[in-house]
Amino acid sequence: MSKDNFALSTGYLKKVVPLLMKHQVPATPTNYALWYTYVADSDTDLSWHINESIQATGTLSETQCEQLYQSHFADKKVKEADDFQQSLQALALEMGNTMEDTLKDTDTFQNTLDKTFSQLSRVGEETLSMDETIAVVRSAVKGSNQIRQSTSFFKNQLADAQREIARLKETLAQANEEALHDALTGIFNRRAFDSELGALANSPPPKGFSLLLCDLDHFKNFNDTYGHLMGDQVLKLTAKRLSDYCREGIQAFRYGGEEFALLVPNRQLKGACRVAETIRASIDKLVIKDKKTSKKLDNITVSIGVAQFDKGDSIRSMIARADAQLYEAKNLGRNRVMPIP
């Protein structure tokens, strides 16, 4: 490295550290790489996204940093990791099912052998002497015992393998929980929501922010009528529609089950309610069809409760107000925003 390049890199690093401190971003290697690239202005698209977020919210949260790093630096590695995890999950499921079937077959085989040799031990051959008959029976019984021991050992081995597979599934499930994206819909999950809401509450944007809690109406009935696979498609379509409104710092999350949440920076109650009403109307226009029959299914609607973050507010109280407004929307007939925009 030349002296000029070294001096330039040192200058960039001196700018990165104050930015990390200003926006309360942890000094991790990935965040260094992200902000170093921003300071160096070597990725115009990345710089645009960071500037847009800072303009909308006044900061760049840890969740947003990770998302930008994945999209600009780690796309290929992340995709490979996701593909590997999916393959591993499929393998674990397939092996688990195979082990169960094999254990059942082994039990059946052992029972058949026991029954066969039990019958054989009672068979007498007129052409054989008593001593010869006894020798045949003893040999058969001995063989049966050996097979029983062999199958018993095999069953133990399979049981050990099953326990290992169960442990692997648990590890994968935990890894999914620790991820920031929902596995089904692809949008941010509850863990990311908690982190992002905490960051906004600790350092609110200049004009404050609001929370939208959205719940699909009569979703249980829809699942019972059309099945969970179709229900999953509805959740994906809803998440996609919510993602379409993730502009100017707005972020969408799967809050749990059929419930979603949106964080809307620089919008107080009235402005956030207008955003919520636009989203409600958009989801109401969704057309759901059964791909197998091309039959149009029941319309999907959503109820939305809105709350703004007030001075002296806590995360718990803000969520409680939004949840109360959501409950009121449900109580008044669903497919509406509360409070009324």
Q: Is there a domain that residue 185 lies in?
A: no
Catalytic-role residue among 125, 258, 259, 277: 258
- Tell which of 32, 48, 73 closes a domain: 73
| pLDDT given at position 166 | 66
- Tell which of 178, 202, 221 closes a domain: 178
Same structural domain for residues 260 and 311? Answer: yes
Q: Is there a domain that residue 124 lies in?
A: yes
| pLDDT given at position 1 | 47
Same structural domain for residues 167 and 290? Answer: no
Note down pLDDT in tens along the chain; length 341 residues.
455 666 777 777 778 888 888 887 787 777 888 888 888 888 888 888 888 888 887 778 878 888 888 777 765 555 555 555 665 565 566 556 555 555 555 565 566 556 555 545 555 545 555 665 566 566 656 656 655 665 565 566 556 656 666 666 666 666 655 678 888 898 999 999 999 999 999 888 889 999 999 999 999 998 888 888 889 999 999 999 999 999 889 999 999 999 999 999 999 999 999 999 999 999 999 888 877 777 787 789 999 999 999 988 999 999 999 999 999 999 999 999 999 87
Q: What CATH code is carried by the domain that includes residue 250?
A: 3.30.70.270
Same structural domain for residues 206 and 297? Answer: yes
| pLDDT given at position 121 | 53
Q: Which residues partner with 305 through β-bridges?
A: 213, 338
3-state secondary structure of 243: helix
CA distance 221 to 137: 64
Same structural domain for residues 197 and 325? Answer: yes
| pLDDT given at position 241 | 95
CA distance 270 to 222: 32
3-state secondary structure of 288: coil
- Tell which of 153, 178, 203 closes a domain: 178
Q: Residue 51 corresponds to which tokens in the numbers above? A: 């500037």
| pLDDT given at position 318 | 96
Q: Is there a domain that residue 231 lies in?
A: yes
Range of the structural domain that residue 58 is part of: 3-73
Same structural domain for residues 237 and 315? Answer: yes
Q: How many CB atoms lie within 10 A of CB 309?
A: 24
What beta strand segments (E) does the chain contain?
A: 209-216, 251-256, 259-265, 302-308, 337-338
Is the separation of the CB atoms in 279 and 268 below 8 Å? no
| pLDDT given at position 341 | 72
pTM for the predicted model, two decimal places? 0.59
Q: Is there a domain that residue 42 lies in?
A: yes
| pLDDT given at position 293 | 76
Same structural domain for residues 222 and 275? Answer: yes
Same structural domain for residues 83 and 161? Answer: yes
Same structural domain for residues 11 and 133? Answer: no
Same structural domain for residues 60 and 92? Answer: no
Same structural domain for residues 203 and 322? Answer: yes
Same structural domain for residues 304 and 227? Answer: yes
DSSP 8-state symbol, 234? H
Q: Is there a domain that residue 277 lies in?
A: yes
Q: Is there a domain that residue 183 lies in?
A: no
Same structural domain for residues 226 and 326? Answer: yes
Q: Residue 277 corresponds to which tokens in the numbers above? A: 């009403």
| pLDDT given at position 214 | 98
User: Is position 259 annotated as part of the catalytic site?
Assistant: no
Count of structural domains within the chain: 3
Q: How many residues does the chain have?
A: 341
CA distance 108 to 173: 33
Q: Is there a domain that residue 184 lies in?
A: no
